[in-house]
Chains A and B, each alone.
Chain A
Amino acid sequence: MLGLILFLIVLFFAIAAPVFADYENEAIKQNVYEKFAPPSREHLLGMDAYGRDLFARIIFGARLSLVISLTTVGASMVLGCLIGSLCAYYGGWLDAITMRIVDIFLALPMTLMAVTVVAALGTSTTNLIIALTISMIPPFVRIVRSAVLQVKGSDYIEAAVAYGSKDMRIILTHVLPNAIGPIIVQATLNLASVLLSVAALGFIGLGVPSPQPEWGTMLAESKAQMRYHPWQVIIPGVAVAITVLSINLIGDGLRDALDPKLKN
């Protein structure tokens, strides 16, 4: 519940951002004279290193951060579920070959993979999403596969085969709903990593193209000022933390809500 409320607040700001601030003038336009200005009535959270309104950058940044992370996790989850459940259900050479490929991907550091993809495709938000999604699919495949393997052996799956249910139907109506628990947990964990990955990529110039505000990039950019202007790091950091926390809480709640054993 708390998670939901927090998340809705974040979402609200993200969507309603233009109401609170002017994108061009505040988030983007640099104003050297006002750099590092402390919070004031006009600029609620003060200014950043380039004289941009921090508050404006945060709330506009919310949009990008949310879009990137949710899309990435969503897409990788769906694809991961598909691949993982097919592998687990059918086994055999499909499983063997796919899992070896997945193992190779898992051995590569996620950031490195994302770097490779972005370097190949070019720097843009869309490419960033593609890169991160690709790197996020293997862990999902692993989790989904083991959850499905566990469910697959159950009698009730055999029963469904016995009354003539087709494979795809069994996977969608029986297997996945029962395997959803660990998948949701993994999804929420991945959300945090995505946000941070974007930052990492931003740090080396392969992230969201400047000067678009985005929390991860803001974190990277302000790392250098940490000693004298800690707020520059703390504020986007807190924003990330709150969002990730809210999503984790939602994930827990969702997992429990979907478990009929906890229903009364």
Chain B
Amino acid sequence: MEERCSNQPILQTKELTKYFKTSRGLLHAVDHVNLSISANKTLGVVGESGCGKSTLGRTILKLIEPTSGEILYHGVNIESCSASKMRDMRRKMQIIFQDPYASLDPRKSVKDLIADPLKVYGVSKAEREDIVFEIMKTVGIAERFAQSYPHELDGGRRQRIGIARALVLNPEFIVCDEPVSALDVSIQAQILNLLMDLQESHGLTYLFITHDLSVVRHISDEIVVMYLGVVVERAPSKELFANPLHPYTKELIRAIPIPDLKPEHKLIHSIRGEVSDPIEPPARCRFAPRCNYCTDACMGCQPALRDMGNDHYVACALYDK
């Protein structure tokens, strides 16, 4: 992984927090998350249901209003942006959704779907046509589908439309919210390749959200593991898999069924219990109830992220020596 001379990371979050009000109390969806992504890199955010990764992605784009914390885009805090300034910023920050069936307006043709963002910014009709057809070519949708409707196309093509729509405004930063989870394995591979090609050709920066560890390993430069709204580990991709430190990360990696018959890859399940309640969580390590290494030290408060060297950070009392 080459060292880039990073002046400033393209996106940073400082203590980003999102709580939802529920009848039983505050739901801690995202809790004091600190991230930074450098230009042209991919930060993978991995975790299981309820860990807050989707909420995190949407909060960064201010599709959900954060409860507190800062979101710095090129050093500028977009938290305090006016509505019109934010609309400007949106040209540069886009999102690709998980569900290729729900993320497209069923009443619009492929051409209209991709052209809509351009219409919003007042691009002329002639220019729109050109841009749309070019983007379609770039993402691999044949011209003959321009007048088709989403329900006439398969999942892979619909997802390509979603990608085309995200690209059409020439963004710098794209939040990919589980973009391949709903696709068949062979289509997944096609779309992953496409995303990686586009990153190179268009100089894009990705925040890649997924629950699939093998996918995140393939596409990310750096990975953040989330559990119940907090970041429990952060490391460069290879480092995380070679040397996972947090007990949860270890369990997560161990739970993946490997497609071969080697005895060392036999699936042993060792994580106990279920994810605890994200509403008003008690002040202790979030993973404590399920952790095989839990000690008294873990029950005091959620440990902070500790620098373990090699750009590897972990939030676990075990490493608090």
Whether A160 is near chain B, meaning CB under 8 Å from some CB there, is: yes
Whether B121 is near chain A, meaning CB under 8 Å from some CB there, is: yes
Given that A161-B63, A162-B90 are contacting pairs, would A156 and B117 also be in contact in the complex, using a CB cutoff of 8 Å?
no
Whether B125 is near chain A, meaning CB under 8 Å from some CB there, is: no
A229-263 interface code vs B (CB 8 A; 1 in, 0 out): 00000000000000000000000000000101101
Interface footprint category on B: 20 to 34
User: What's the Cα separation between A158 and B149 when bound, in Å?
Assistant: 19
User: What's the Cα separation between A260 and B149 when bound, in Å?
Assistant: 7
Whether A159 is near chain B, meaning CB under 8 Å from some CB there, is: yes
Query: A165, B120: Cβ atoms under 8 Å?
Result: yes
Whether B87 is near chain A, meaning CB under 8 Å from some CB there, is: yes
Query: B90, A159: Cβ atoms under 8 Å?
Result: no
Given that A154-B102, A158-B97 are contacting pairs, would A164 and B116 also be in contact in the complex, using a CB cutoff of 8 Å?
no
Whether A93 is near chain B, meaning CB under 8 Å from some CB there, is: no
Whether B107 is near chain A, meaning CB under 8 Å from some CB there, is: yes
Residues of A within 8 A of B97 (CB): 155, 158-159
By CB atoms of chain B within 10 A, which of A154, A162, A173, A263 has the most?
A162
B23-65 interface code vs A (CB 8 A; 1 in, 0 out): 0000000000000000000000000000000000010010100
Query: B149, A162: Cβ atoms under 8 Å?
Result: no
Query: A155, B151: Cβ atoms under 8 Å?
Result: no
Interface footprint category on A: 20 to 34
Say whether chain B's binding surface is mostly helix, strand, loop, or mixed.
loop
Whether B103 is near chain A, meaning CB under 8 Å from some CB there, is: yes
A158-202 interface code vs B (CB 8 A; 1 in, 0 out): 111111111001000110011000000000000000000000000
The chain B residue with its CB closest to the CB of A155 is: B103
The chain B residue with its CB closest to the CB of A174 is: B105
Query: B103, A159: Cβ atoms under 8 Å?
Result: yes
Nearest Cβ on chain A to B33's Cβ, whole angstroms: 20
Query: A156, B90: Cβ atoms under 8 Å?
Result: no
Query: B120, A164: Cβ atoms under 8 Å?
Result: yes
User: What's the Cα separation between A95 and B97 when bound, in Å?
Assistant: 29
Query: A164, B107: Cβ atoms under 8 Å?
Result: no
The chain B residue with its CB closest to the CB of A178 is: B107
Name the contact of B106 in the complex, choosing from A161, A164, A169, A260 (C-beta under 8 A): A260
Query: A164, B102: Cβ atoms under 8 Å?
Result: no
Name the contact of B120 in the complex, choosing from A154, A158, A163, A260 (C-beta under 8 A): A163
Query: A169, B120: Cβ atoms under 8 Å?
Result: yes
Query: B107, A177: Cβ atoms under 8 Å?
Result: yes
- Give residues in B with beta carbon < 8 Å to A: 58, 61, 63, 87-88, 90-91, 94-95, 97-99, 102-107, 116-117, 120-121, 149, 151, 162, 165, 169
Nearest 8 A/B pairs, CB to CB: A155-B103, A163-B117, A164-B90, A155-B102, A164-B87, A260-B149, A156-B105, A155-B97
- Give residues in A with beta carbon < 8 Å to B: 154-156, 158-166, 169, 173-174, 177-178, 258, 260-261, 263
